[in-house]
Amino acid sequence: MLVMSDGSCIGTIGGGCVEAEIVRKALFMIRSNGKKSVRHHVDLTGEDAQEEGMVCGGVIDVLLEPI
């Protein structure tokens, strides 16, 4: 998924709260002129997934990389 400086995105990593969190972190990286890659681990299993109203859950690792 490519996140643009205006917040628009090309592609998806699945939508929902996980994608919204990653977009927020990507925009912070863009706006703070981040230069190095950062790995984000998101774990939405069990009760966490249920609290978010997710039908599925799981674990995802996302690499944010400035280009």
pLDDT digits (tens, 9 = 90+) for 58-67: 788 999 999 8
Asked if 45 and 19 touch (Cβ cutoff 8 Å), the reply is no
Distance CA 1, CA 14 (A): 10
Rounding to the nearest 10 degrees, give the CA dihedral for residues 27, 24, 42, 2: -50
pTM: predicted TM-score of the whole model, two decimal places: 0.81
Q: What is the pLDDT of residue 55?
A: 65
- Indicate the average pLDDT of the chain: 88
Asked if 27 and 7 touch (Cβ cutoff 8 Å), the reply is yes
Q: How far is CA 36 from each of CA 17, 21, 47, 65, rounded to the nearest angstrom?
A: 24, 19, 33, 7
* % of residues, the chain, pLDDT over 90: 60
Q: pLDDT class for 42, splitting at 50, 70, 90?
A: confident
